[in-house]
């Protein structure tokens, strides 16, 4: 993980941290100690917020609420029930996390602006409750007299010991956050954020499970931060639930960078000291905070502290153990059966009872004029659209009605007419994310001895796959820097990385040169020979007929012909639909 851009950066950060720690412990005035303690609290809050706002890419406005909730849980339990830290702290984490899990089903399936609105309404509701439930929360006056940290009868003194205690939690939080996002789990987040359609339908990543985990994690971190805040301030009021804390948290996250752990910590230190530096502005200093946020968004959307960020993909080349044999999990020999599949869009019947059977290990070509329902068929098969009638089965597994990622995990991968690749991710990582997606998980990485080791293994395997698809040497390039033909090939490599039983290719050769098309066809035949069934949609009948063992022609949403390619192309109905009446009369 020592991949700062230059070696000098390796020393800057630990050096600065050491200097600051020395200052905080030995030289800081009581007032400075308090500010540094609060900076630690905010650092923990922001580290948590990075999960949902950074890694999951969802603008939740409830982070301040989870923070305030954690503070109130500690405050209420400590003042009214006399509970100690070892009881209050876990509950301050659990209760916000439980609230997040509870509202997640309603909130997380919403798109950006609705998600922001719903989380905002949630925080207003909790604030309203805190103000009006006076017997428990102390109402607008708040809860005074929150004791310091005491564990099993031992009291932690305030001042420097509390400062050190808070920063120990920041360190624990940072290490945990690093473990969670440094490995394959973090790569899965990036893939979902940058290529959501492909993540589900081409790879089989469960995006909603990722979002849920990010939301609950962010709430847990916020709860911990809130608990420490209550101990530091000794008095809390409903203000801790207000929008003010949310805004500070958002500002810190934008300034520090949404994905950088050192960035989060630096931004927390910087912004808690900002009011001190802006003191000359008197009552305008809060407005100055807004100016700083605005400037950060406009001029440094990736964070002012961007130089601290490891370039996300400047990972070292994996050790040269390439050609480590890919475990050949041969796909199951089953048929893909489509029965009477129908779909209408408004009054338009895009697919009208299509029947189709794909044999394992063979290439089936699918042709048909524009608007004949080819892409609709693919979208129905991969769960991006739901059919009005009919069904699709893989062997005995019912595919219809399943979410995209389950269909992909069952063994059906696809590519898109416009390649859906995660911009800013390397070619290697694009493929690495697609290897055994079912084995990527929060616990695996959090509890692994070395979460980056499994990612390194995936990268090694990805290199082998890339070599296999003629993309060797491009591993370190970013997806969006590839030329068109390579992008399409990369999409196929990614889809093949999961060893699917069937591969569905939607117009893969569009824009190819003749030479590219030919070598692409050879690659497909190799794939089929290794046992992977392929459904190939294309507009070039000669190319499709040349490599397919079965050809299917779709017109007006129904299958009008299927069989051996030469026979199908001779049928008058096919010639009429596909080549037009002119060719028929000319023939």
Residue ranges that bind another protein, judged by CB under 8 A: 57, 59, 106, 110-114, 116-118, 120-122, 124-125, 128-129, 131-132, 196, 243, 247, 250-251, 254, 282-284, 286-287, 289-291, 293-294, 297-298, 301
Closer residue to another protein, CB minimum distance, 59 or 306: 59
What gap in Å lies between CA 500 and CA 522, rounded to an integer? 18
Q: Can you list the alpha helix ranges (DSSP code H) found in 425-483?
A: 427-432, 442-447, 451-468
E-strand ranges in 416-538 read 502-506, 533-537
CA quadruple 493, 495, 500, 503: dihedral sign: negative
Provide the minimum distance between the beta carbon of 435 and another protein in the complex, in angstroms, as a whole number.
26
334 close to 395: Cβ distance less than 8 angstroms: yes
71 close to 227: Cβ distance less than 8 angstroms: yes
Inter-CA distances, 49 with 56, 60, 120, 170, 175, Å: 10, 9, 15, 14, 15
Closer residue to another protein, CB minimum distance, 21 or 247: 247
Provide the minimum distance between the beta carbon of 111 and another protein in the complex, in angstroms, as a whole number.
6
Closer residue to another protein, CB minimum distance, 289 or 519: 289
**CA-CA-CA-CA dihedral for 426, 428, 434, 437, to nearest 10:** -90
Closer residue to another protein, CB minimum distance, 420 or 538: 420
Provide the minimum distance between the beta carbon of 294 and another protein in the complex, in angstroms, as a whole number.
4
The strand pair at 389-394 and 412-414 is best described as unpaired
Provide the minimum distance between the beta carbon of 390 and another protein in the complex, in angstroms, as a whole number.
26
Closer residue to another protein, CB minimum distance, 129 or 306: 129
Provide the minimum distance between the beta carbon of 295 and another protein in the complex, in angstroms, as a whole number.
9
Provide the minimum distance between the beta carbon of 94 and another protein in the complex, in angstroms, as a whole number.
23
Closer residue to another protein, CB minimum distance, 270 or 446: 270
94 close to 151: Cβ distance less than 8 angstroms: no
Provide the minimum distance between the beta carbon of 157 and another protein in the complex, in angstroms, as a whole number.
36
Closer residue to another protein, CB minimum distance, 180 or 194: 194
Closer residue to another protein, CB minimum distance, 250 or 551: 250
Question: 3-state DSSP call for residue 245?
Answer: helix
In degrees, rounded to 5, the angle at the alpha carbon of residue 370 between the alpha carbons of residues 550 and 399 is: 55
201 close to 193: Cβ distance less than 8 angstroms: no
Task: Based on DSSP, count helices (H) and strands (E) in the chain, helices before strands.
Answer: 24, 12
Sorted by sequence, the CB contacts under 8 Å of residue 197 that are 6+ apart come out as 384, 416, 420
Closer residue to another protein, CB minimum distance, 420 or 445: 420
């Amino acid at each position: 993980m020592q991949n700062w851009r230059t070696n000098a950066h390796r020393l800057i950060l630990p050096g600065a941290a050491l200097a600051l720690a020395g200052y905080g412990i030995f030289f800081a005035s009581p007032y400075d100690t308090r500010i540094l303690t609060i900076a630690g609290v905010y650092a923990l809050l922001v580290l948590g917020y990075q999960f949902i706002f950074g890694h999951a890419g969802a603008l939740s406005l409830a982070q301040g609420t989870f923070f305030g909730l954690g503070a109130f849980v500690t405050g209420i339990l400590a003042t009214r029930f006399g509970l100690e830290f070892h009881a209050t702290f876990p509950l301050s984490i659990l209760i916000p996390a439980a609230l997040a899990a509870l509202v997640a089903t309603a909130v997380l399936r919403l798109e950006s602006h609705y998600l922001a609105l719903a989380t905002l309404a949630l925080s207003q509701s909790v604030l309203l409750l805190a103000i009006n439930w006076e017997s428990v929360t102390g109402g607008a006056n708040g809860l005074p007299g929150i004791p310091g940290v005491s564990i099993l009868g031992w009291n932690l003194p305030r001042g420097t010991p509390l400062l050190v205690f808070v920063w120990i939690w920041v360190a624990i939080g940072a290490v945990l956050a690093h473990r969670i996002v440094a490995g394959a789990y973090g790569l899965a987040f990036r893939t979902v954020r940058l290529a959501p359609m492909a993540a589900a339908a081409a790879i089989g990543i469960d995006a909603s499970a990722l979002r849920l985990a990010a939301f609950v994690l962010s709430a847990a971190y916020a709860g911990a931060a809130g608990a420490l805040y209550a101990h530091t301030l000794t008095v809390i009021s409903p203000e801790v639930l207000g929008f003010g804390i949310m805004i500070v948290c958002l500002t810190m996250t934008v300034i520090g960078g949404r994905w950088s752990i050192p960035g989060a910590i630096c931004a927390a230190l910087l912004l808690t000291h900002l009011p001190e530096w802006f003191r000359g502005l008197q009552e305008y200093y809060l407005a100055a905070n807004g100016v700083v946020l605005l400037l950060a968004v406009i001029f440094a959307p990736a964070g002012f502290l961007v130089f601290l960020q490891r370039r996300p993909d400047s990972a070292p080349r994996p050790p040269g153990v390439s050609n480590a044999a890919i475990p050949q999990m041969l796909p199951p020999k089953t048929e893909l059966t489509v029965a009477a599949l129908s779909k209408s869009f408004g009054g338009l019947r895009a697919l009208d009872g299509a029947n189709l059977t794909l044999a394992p290990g063979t290439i089936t070509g699918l042709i048909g004029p524009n608007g004949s329902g080819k892409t609709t068929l693919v979208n129905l098969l991969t769960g991006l659209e739901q059919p009005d009638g009919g069904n699709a089965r893989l062997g005995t597994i019912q595919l219809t009605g399943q979410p995209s990622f389950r269909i992909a995990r069952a063994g059906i991968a696809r590519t898109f007419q416009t390649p859906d690749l995660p911009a800013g991710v390397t070619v290697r990582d694009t493929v690495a994310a697609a290897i055994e997606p079912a084995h990527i998980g929060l616990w695996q990485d959090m509890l692994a001895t070395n979460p980056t080791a499994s990612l390194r293994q995936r990268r090694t395997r990805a290199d082998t796959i890339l070599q296999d698809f003629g993309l060797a040497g491009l591993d370190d390039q970013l997806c969006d820097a590839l030329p068109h033909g390579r992008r399409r090939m990369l999409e196929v490599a990614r889809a093949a990385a999961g060893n699917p039983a069937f591969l569905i290719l939607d117009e893969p050769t569009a824009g190819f040169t003749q030479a590219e098309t030919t070598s692409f066809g050879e690659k497909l035949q190799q794939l089929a020979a290794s046992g992977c069934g392929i459904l190939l949609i294309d507009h070039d009948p000669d190319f499709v007929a040349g490599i397919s063992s079965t050809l299917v022609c779709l017109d007006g949403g129904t299958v009008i012909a299927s069989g051996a390619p030469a026979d199908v192309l001779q049928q008058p109905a096919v010639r009429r639909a596909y080549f037009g009446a002119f060719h028929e009369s000319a023939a």
